[in-house]
Every structure is written in C-alpha cells, then in structure tokens.
C-alpha cells in the first residue's frame, strides 16, 4: 500500500466533435469506482478506434472473459479483430505468464501508452475486472452514443481487492423481481466489482423458486393479494375470495439462466432458503409442517408481519424430510460453495407449546429452544456438507451453537461477526446501520416511504469498516468481506430498487475493494457525482442523496474552536445559526462555543431539502 500513487480523478470530456461517422471524444482524467489501489496518469493520449486491433495472450476468443469484452466492444461499434502477435494500435488482453502474487486471482494491471492498451492479470477474472475499470475510462454514454474515436490518457493502474466477499442481497420475496430485473442488478454488481449475489428467495411474503416435489409452494406459496397500491404499513387484509395476483417464482430454467448470466460476470449466486422461521408461504401451502398445537391459519403475507411467529416444527420428521427434499432440488441449480439457510428472527412461541418439539428436545437432551434451532442448523449443515456445500446463516445461528465450518452473516450489528471470528468461523459483515439500503438515505420527510429503522446515508456507508473491532490478524482472516442488503417491503418497482441502491452501492463497492488508507470521502463525493451521470445515462434510477449536513471541529491558529460543515450532494446550500435564530449562508468554517447548538437549513436547486437540524 505504501507505494500507491493516487490521483484524485474525475472524468471530464473536454472535446466532443461531431463527425459524420460518429463522435470523437477526449477523456481527461478518470473517475473510477472503486478507486484503484494504484493509478498514475501520464502525459499523452492513445486513440481507440475501429482500426484498433485486439491481441489475446494466454486466453482465446472463446474464453469467457474475452467473449464478454468483445461483445461489449461490438455493442459500442468497435470491431475487435484478433491478431496473432502484439502490434502497435492494439488492445491487449494478457494472462500473466508468471503469476503476480500481489494481484491474486482478482487483480489486474492496465497500461495505456502510445502503442495501445494492455490489460493484464493472473486470471480471466482479473481481466474481467480490468475491463470493468477500462469501461469507466470511456465516456459515460458509451452504451448509447456512437463514438468513432476515443482518446484515452496514458496511464498505469495496478489494482486488487481488499475483501474476497463483495456482496449484494436482493429480497425477491417481499416483492418479486423478474429475470430481466435480476440481470440488470447483476450488471450493476459487475460494474462495481461486486462478486456475491445473495438471493433471498423465500420468506413470509412469497416462495420464489420452483420445487417440483412440493408444487403447492409455487401454486399457493408464490402468490398473494395485491396491495401495491397501498402504503406497506396500511395494507388491507384479503377479502373473501379475492384473487391472488401479486407474486411469481423463478422456474428452474430461469434460475439456470440467471446463474449462468451471473457466472459470465464472475458473480457467485448464493440462494437463501429460510429455516426455520419466515415461512408463512410454506405453511399456507403445507400447514402440516407447522407445530402440533398451532391452529393458526397461515397466509402468504401482503404487508407487515410482526412478530414473525410462523415457524417450521422442529419435532416433525416430515419437516426435516421436506427441507432435505427442497435442498436436493436447490443444490444442482447453484454451483457455488454456499447455501444460506437463514436462521434469523425465528420466534419460538409455537415450539414452546408443541409436544413434538418437546419430545425432540428430550430425546436430544437439549435444555433450551435456541439449542433446538442449533440442532436443526447442524442437521442441515451436515446434509449439505455431504453434497459439497457449506452453510451461511444470519448471526442468530450463533445462539444455538454452530460448527466451525458455518459462515456467519452478522446483521444485528458487527458484534456477532466479531464473536464468530474469535471462534474461528468465517464472517460476512452486514450490520444494518451501515449495510441496509432499504433504510432511508435522507430525511424521510423528503423521500418516498422506506423502512423507517434508521438513516443510512451515502456518507455513512462510505465510512463503514468491515474489520472494525477486529483485534488480531487471525480474526481478520475470517472476515471474508461484507455486503449491502436490499429488503423490499417498501420497494415494489425496479426503479425504486435502483433509487435505493444507487449511489450507496458504489460506496459499499469502494469500502470492499479499495485499501482503507486510500478511502477519501471528498474525492469519492466528486467521483460519485460523475457516476450518477453515468448510471442515469445507462438507464438506472439514482437516489437523491442526503441533504443533512454534519459538522467537524478544529482549532484555528488563534486557538478558537471552529466548526466546518460538510454535506453529501455537491451544490447543496446550507444556512445556519448557532442560537440567535438568524440564518446565515455557510461559506467557510465559523467560530463556535463548546455548548453552541448549530441549526441548519439545506437547499438544493432552490428547494428546501432538510429542515432545521440541530447538529
């Protein structure tokens, strides 16, 4: 990390010349997210055009990375012709003959010089990430505007990630998102070098994957009454005989299509099947899987369901049979190492009343219901292990005791993850205060309705450190990485999903990829505003950002206590007062006394965006 040379950069298109056959453009400086580990911009430009040839060394045109890269070059009307030897005016894709250990499996180098562009890596995966960086060196609207020539500054980039797990969860149970929407999500992940797609496929609000042996999971469990025209918290209960028109599920062919699409983008797909709670959809379809004394009539949920009392009976052998049968159909569809078995928020009131659960506990010599869940988790873990899969579970699985091979996803905070890493378990950090992108990104008063738990601003996400609180190198080795989670109770359109994800997902990508010592909020803020332009040009809906300022204090040369205001969105105007009620426009740090409360108003484009706020 010591030798990194870092230029704060942003894309600036300094000349756009219309020509009959397309446009010519000169790109000056770059705005790369995540910021590469090392980047220098040199004097001079290389011009990419349709006469630029391609050379591949150590890979062929039928290999996955080259196919992906060529198909994009073709979409942009460049004509990649593969030549047999490296020549001037070429784009070279090279697998290193001698592996560069610092780059690892995902790192890459890019050199742009007078003879062309060289992307080199130890693996195809590295080439793919090099190409993703290269795309960000091209004009924002490359996918929609035909450029005949693009002049790219000479540069050297050397880059590799900090964390191996760079994830994004999409909840398709609370609202169903179709194949093309999921693919668009995967495209977004790939652009930002995220590599783990956590697919939350089952919950109280719908079962979303075809299971042949239990067809009612789909015929009943995948559908609910439509309440999308009502606020989530105010959904009316189903009317007698009301048709269930909201929902859907992925057929096995669709799952295979999405898994293959993800693999082309070097993304692993991790299916989540919730055990033992969050199972209204299962219990409406197969009520015999509920506890013996549970006379609840379950229904696929259509609005808030809290506390989530639905739970599979732990004392019923047919439940274990059901789960194993389901896994038998899941396993062949997902080639990755992991299956997520949920484990969160399992309310155990039904277990407490159930004679079958009591019998199971007695037989196993268990003294509490957390241990009973622990037994179920281990049963599933052992079953999956025999078929070459490892489990991931939410941090509640720690409460019932887990094996050392289970990976823990820490969501109620980072403490569960820290504890698990101490015990030698692998950990994925996703503490809700930093990683839940279904929470408001800005003052709720000015936002579409979202999960009201807390405020997760772009700045907050950017300040996340997945390894905070980890005290030893041995523990650090167990922190695989982190992920952002998009739960979709309040999110019922793809546009809304994008609005919540962007640009916060960009911040998460930088947290996970870029060396922590190089993270620089002010610089990121400039780059992300260019990315918002890029994302909009590529048909993504982008969130507004937060207009809530924050304050830092310092001493000036005369020892006075000075307040500096900061804000997220460039162009925000802040007015403030420190107690006299007279608002002044903020232009520079100002003096404050220790007990002064700073009150602010934020305006953007002439509109009030954030009301008086006591900092």
Q: Which does 189 bind (CB under 5 to 8 A by kind): Zn ion, ligand ACM, none?
A: none
Residue 344 makes contact with ligand ACM by CB under 6 A:
yes
Q: Which of 411, 490, 547, 604 binds ligand ACM (CB under 6 A)?
A: 411
> Based on CB atoms, which residue is closest to Zn ion, 291 or 380?
291
Q: Which does 345 bind (CB under 5 to 8 A by kind): Zn ion, ligand ACM, none?
A: ligand ACM
Packing angle of the helix pair 64-75, 252-264 (nearest 10 deg): 90
Minimum Å distance from CB 341 to ligand ACM?
Answer: 12
> Based on CB atoms, which residue is closest to ligand ACM, 159 or 489?
489
Q: Which does 68 bind (CB under 5 to 8 A by kind): ligand ACM, Zn ion, none?
A: none
∠ CA(551), CA(574), CA(547), 5° rounding? Answer: 75
What is the rounded CA–CA span in Å between residue 255 and residue 506? 26
> Based on CB atoms, which residue is closest to Zn ion, 73 or 357?
357
407-410 and 38-49 strand pairing: unpaired
> Based on CB atoms, which residue is closest to ligand ACM, 142 or 451?
451
**Per-residue x/- mask for ligand ACM, residues 129 to 148, rule CB under 6 A?**
--------------------
Known catalytic residue: 381?
no
Within 8 A by CB and 6+ apart from 20, the residues are none
Q: Which does 354 bind (CB under 5 to 8 A by kind): Zn ion, ligand ACM, none?
A: Zn ion
What is the rounded CA–CA span in Å between residue 369 and residue 181? 39
Q: Which does 315 bind (CB under 5 to 8 A by kind): ligand ACM, Zn ion, none?
A: Zn ion
Q: Which of 232, 394, 434, 604 binds ligand ACM (CB under 6 A)?
A: 394
Known catalytic residue: 345?
yes
**Per-residue x/- mask for ligand ACM, residues 302 to 341, rule CB under 6 A?**
----------------------------------------
Q: Which does 313 bind (CB under 5 to 8 A by kind): ligand ACM, Zn ion, none?
A: Zn ion
Task: Please name every residue paired with 151 in a beta bridge, in sequence order, or none if there are none.
Answer: 26, 47
The answer, yes or no, to whether the previous bond of 276 is cis (omega within 30 of 0) is yes
Single out the catalytic residue among 345, 370, 399, 520: 345
Within 8 A by CB and 6+ apart from 255, the residues are 209, 210, 333, 334
53-57 and 90-95 strand pairing: parallel
Q: Which does 439 bind (CB under 5 to 8 A by kind): Zn ion, ligand ACM, none?
A: none
Closest CA to 249 of 211, 204, 286: 211
Minimum Å distance from CB 478 to ligand ACM?
Answer: 20
Closest CA to 112 of 1, 217, 204, 32: 32
What is the rounded CA–CA span in Å between residue 358 and residue 367? 10
CA 68 to each of CA 64, 65, 290, 477: distance values in angstroms, whole numbers, following the listed order: 6, 5, 47, 32
Residues in the chain: 615
* Contact present, 564 and 554 (Cβ < 8 Å): yes
What is the rounded CA–CA span in Å between residue 379 and residue 503? 40
Minimum Å distance from CB 393 to Zn ion?
Answer: 20
Instruction: Give the number of residues in contact with ligand ACM, rule: CB under 6 A.
Output: 4
Single out the catalytic residue among 198, 278, 478, 531: 278
> Based on CB atoms, which residue is closest to ligand ACM, 226 or 345?
345
- Number of Cβ atoms within 10 Å of the Cβ of 355: 11
- Number of Cβ atoms within 10 Å of the Cβ of 263: 15
Q: Which does 291 bind (CB under 5 to 8 A by kind): ligand ACM, Zn ion, none?
A: Zn ion
Minimum Å distance from CB 273 to ligand ACM?
Answer: 14
Q: Which does 342 bind (CB under 5 to 8 A by kind): ligand ACM, Zn ion, none?
A: none
> Based on CB atoms, which residue is closest to ligand ACM, 171 or 610?
171
Q: Which does 273 bind (CB under 5 to 8 A by kind): ligand ACM, Zn ion, none?
A: none
What is the rounded CA–CA span in Å between residue 8 and residue 299? 54
What is the rounded CA–CA span in Å between residue 61 and residue 54? 10
Q: Which does 411 bind (CB under 5 to 8 A by kind): ligand ACM, Zn ion, none?
A: ligand ACM
> Based on CB atoms, which residue is closest to ligand ACM, 54 or 437?
437
Binding residues for Zn ion (CB under 5 A): 291, 313, 315, 354, 356-357
Minimum Å distance from CB 160 to ligand ACM?
Answer: 30
Residue 434 makes contact with ligand ACM by CB under 6 A:
no
b/e 126-152 (16+ beta carbons within 10 angstroms → b): bbbbbbbbbbbbbbbbbeeeebbbbbb
> Based on CB atoms, which residue is closest to ligand ACM, 361 or 377?
377
Helix/strand/coil (H, E, C) string of 413-481? CCHHHHHHHHCCCCEEECCHHHHECCEECCCHHHCCCCEEEEECCHHHHHCCCCCCCCCCHHHHCCEEE
* Contact present, 66 and 183 (Cβ < 8 Å): no
Closest CA to 421 of 431, 409, 430, 436: 409
Minimum Å distance from CB 291 to Zn ion?
Answer: 3
Q: Which of 28, 100, 345, 399 binds ligand ACM (CB under 6 A)?
A: 345
Minimum Å distance from CB 416 to ligand ACM?
Answer: 11
Known catalytic residue: 111?
no
Minimum Å distance from CB 484 to ligand ACM?
Answer: 12
Helix (H, G, I), strand (E, B) or coil at 181: helix
Task: Please name every residue paired with 380 in a beta bridge, in sequence order, or none if there are none.
Answer: none
573-577 and 479-486 strand pairing: unpaired
Single out the catalytic residue among 106, 124, 171, 203: 203
> Based on CB atoms, which residue is closest to ligand ACM, 155 or 508?
508
439-440 and 451-455 strand pairing: parallel
Minimum Å distance from CB 345 to ligand ACM?
Answer: 5
What is the rounded CA–CA span in Å between residue 337 and residue 339? 7
Minimum Å distance from CB 280 to ligand ACM?
Answer: 15
> Based on CB atoms, which residue is closest to ligand ACM, 307 or 365?
307
> Based on CB atoms, which residue is closest to ligand ACM, 84 or 307?
307
Name the residues that contact ligand ACM, by CB under 6 A.
344-345, 394, 411
Q: Which residues are catalytic?
A: 203, 278, 345
């Amino acid at each position: 990390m010591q030798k990194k040379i870092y230029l704060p950069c942003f894309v600036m298109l300094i000349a756009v010349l219309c020509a009959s056959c397309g446009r010519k453009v000169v790109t000056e400086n770059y705005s790369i997210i995540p910021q590469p580990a090392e980047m220098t911009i040199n004097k001079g430009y290389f011009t990419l055009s349709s006469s630029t040839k391609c050379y591949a060394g150590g890979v062929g045109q039928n290999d996955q990375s080259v196919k992906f890269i060529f198909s994009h070059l073709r979409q942009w009307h460049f004509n990649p012709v593969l030549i047999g030897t490296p020549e001037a005016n070429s784009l070279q894709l090279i697998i290193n003959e001698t592996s560069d250990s610092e780059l690892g499996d995902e790192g890459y180098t890019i050199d742009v010089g007078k003879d062309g562009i060289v992307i080199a890596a130890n693996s195809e995966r590295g080439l793919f990430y090099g190409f993703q960086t290269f795309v960000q060196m091209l004009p924002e609207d490359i996918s929609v505007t035909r450029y005949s020539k693009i002049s790219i500054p000479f540069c050297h980039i050397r880059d590799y990630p900090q964390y191996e797990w760079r994830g994004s969860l999409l909840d398709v149970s609370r609202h169903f998102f179709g194949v093309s929407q999921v693919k668009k999500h995967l495209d977004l992940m790939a652009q930002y070098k995220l590599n783990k797609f956590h697919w939350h496929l089952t919950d109280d609000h719908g079962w979303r994957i075809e299971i042949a042996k239990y067809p009612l999971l789909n015929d009943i469990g995948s559908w609910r009454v439509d309440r999308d025209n009502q606020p989530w918290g105010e959904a009316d209960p189903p009317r007698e005989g009301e048709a269930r028109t909201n929902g859907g599920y992925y057929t096995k062919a669709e799952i295979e299509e999405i898994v293959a699409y993800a693999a082309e983008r070097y993304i692993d797909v991790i299916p989540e099947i919730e055990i033992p709670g969050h199972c209204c959809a299962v219990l409406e379809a197969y009520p015999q899987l509920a506890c013996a004394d549970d006379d609840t009539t379950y229904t696929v949920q259509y609005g808030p369901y809290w506390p989530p009392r639905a739970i599979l009976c732990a004392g019923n052998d047919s439940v274990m049979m059901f789960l194993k049968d389901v896994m038998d159909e899941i396993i062949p569809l997902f080639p990755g190492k992991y299956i997520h078995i949920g484990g969160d928020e399992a309310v155990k009131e039904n277990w407490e009343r159930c004679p079958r659960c009591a019998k199971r506990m007695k037989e196993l010599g268990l003294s509490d219901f957390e241990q009973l869940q622990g037994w179920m988790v281990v049963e599933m873990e052992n079953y999956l292990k025999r078929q070459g899969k490892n489990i991931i579970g939410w941090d509640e699985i720690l409460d019932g005791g887990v094996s050392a091979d289970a990976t823990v996803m820490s969501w109620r905070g980072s403490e569960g993850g820290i504890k698990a890493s101490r015990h030698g378990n692998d950990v994925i950090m996703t503490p809700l205060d930093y990683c839940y992108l279904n929470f408001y990104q800005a003052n709720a008063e000015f936002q579409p309705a979202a999960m009201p738990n807390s405020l997760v601003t772009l700045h907050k996400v950017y300040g996340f450190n997945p390894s905070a609180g980890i005290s030893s190198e041995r523990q650090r080795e167990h922190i695989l990485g982190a992920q952002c989670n998009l739960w979709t109770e309040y999110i019922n359109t793809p546009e809304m999903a994008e609005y919540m994800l962007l640009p916060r997902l960009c911040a998460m990508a930088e947290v996970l990829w870029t060396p922590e010592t190089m993270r620089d909020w002010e610089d990121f803020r400039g780059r992300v505003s260019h990315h918002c332009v890029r994302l909009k040009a590529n048909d993504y809906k982008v969130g507004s950002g937060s207009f809530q300022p924050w304050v830092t204090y310092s001493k000036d040369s005369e020892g006075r206590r000075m307040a500096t205001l900061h804000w997220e969105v460039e162009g925000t105007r802040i007015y403030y007062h420190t107690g006299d009620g007279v608002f002044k426009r903020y232009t520079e740090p100002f003096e404050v006394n220790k007990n002064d409360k700073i009150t602010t108003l934020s305006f953007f484009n002439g509109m009030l965006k954030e009301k008086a706020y006591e900092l």
